[in-house]
């Protein structure tokens, strides 16, 4: 179970770090996606900071402070539930809905494996 936890958490760290960097860089796909669901451009930096903080917290959890990792995973689960709700409220039923759903599943898997490895 420990190997699964490490693997899932590392993937979640990398995914969220990438997403945060894309937010900070104002990548075209981020701008298009944000516009399609009504997220103002002024929110990109704070949203990127939340993703980066989640990734950093997961890393701290792996490095020996599991309560921080579990808290970070919980925060990311809540963040991506909010992202899914935002997409659904905007009427997004496209393939772009798979991105927040995938990130939510990664965060949930990191949280579950964190709890199970104690």
> For position 75, what pLDDT does the model report?
98
Alpha helices in the chain (DSSP H): 2-25, 28-37, 44-62, 66-89, 98-117
Longest dimension (CA), the chain: 41
DSSP letter for 96, please. G
Given a cut of 90, whether residue 4 has pLDDT beyond it is: yes
In angstroms, rounded to a whole number, what is the distance separating the alpha carbons of residues 1 and 102? 21
- pTM, two decimals, is 0.95
Q: What is the total count of domains within the chain?
A: 1
Q: Are 23 and 99 in contact (CB under 8 A)?
A: no
Q: What is the pLDDT of residues 99-118, one digit of tens each?
A: 999 999 999 999 999 999 97
Which pLDDT band holds residue 64 (cuts at 50, 70, 90)? very high
Domain containing 56 equals 2-117
Q: What is the pLDDT of residues 37-50, one digit of tens each?
A: 999 999 999 999 99
């Amino acid at each position: 179970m420990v190997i699964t936890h490490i693997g899932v958490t590392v993937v979640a760290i990398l995914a969220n770090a990438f997403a945060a960097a894309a937010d900070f860089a104002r990548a075209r796909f981020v701008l298009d996606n944000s516009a399609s669901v009504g997220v103002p451009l002024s929110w990109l930096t704070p949203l990127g900071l939340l993703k980066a903080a989640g990734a950093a917290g997961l890393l701290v959890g792996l490095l020996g402070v599991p309560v921080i990792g579990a808290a970070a995973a919980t925060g990311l689960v809540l963040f991506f539930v909010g992202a899914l709700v935002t997409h659904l409220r905007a009427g997004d039923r496209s393939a772009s809905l798979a991105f927040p759903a995938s990130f939510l599943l990664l965060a949930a898997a990191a949280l579950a494996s964190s709890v199970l490895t104690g």
